[in-house]
Amino acid sequence: MNFAKLKEATLVEANLVQVLEQALETLSKRDDIDFPKYIESDIQPVMADGEQLQRVFLNLANNA
C-alpha cells in the first residue's frame, strides 16, 4: 500500500474550535449538509499544524 508523503508539520498554537468549524464548513458546502454544532467554546489552544489537523477532521468525517 502506498501512502502520500506528508510535509513536515509546522507546530503553532492552533484553535481547535476554529479548525473544526472550518472542516465542518468545508463538508457542509461540499455535501450540502447542515451539521449541528455542539462545541465547547472554552477549549484551550494546542500546539499543532492546523492544516494537518483539519485534514484529520475531514478524513474522520469522510470515513464515518
Tell me the pLDDT tens digit for each residue of 28-37.
Answer: 888 888 878 8
Q: How far is residue 34's CA from residue 29's CA, in Å, rounded to a whole number? A: 9
> Is residue 46 situated within a structural domain?
yes
> Is residue 4 situated within a structural domain?
no
Beta carbons of 46 and 13 less than 8 angstroms apart: yes
pTM of the model: 0.75
Give the mean model confidence (pLDDT) for residues 23-48. 88
> Is residue 17 situated within a structural domain?
yes
Beta carbons of 20 and 39 less than 8 angstroms apart: yes
**Which residue range forms the structural domain that includes residue 25?**
12-63
> Is residue 2 situated within a structural domain?
no
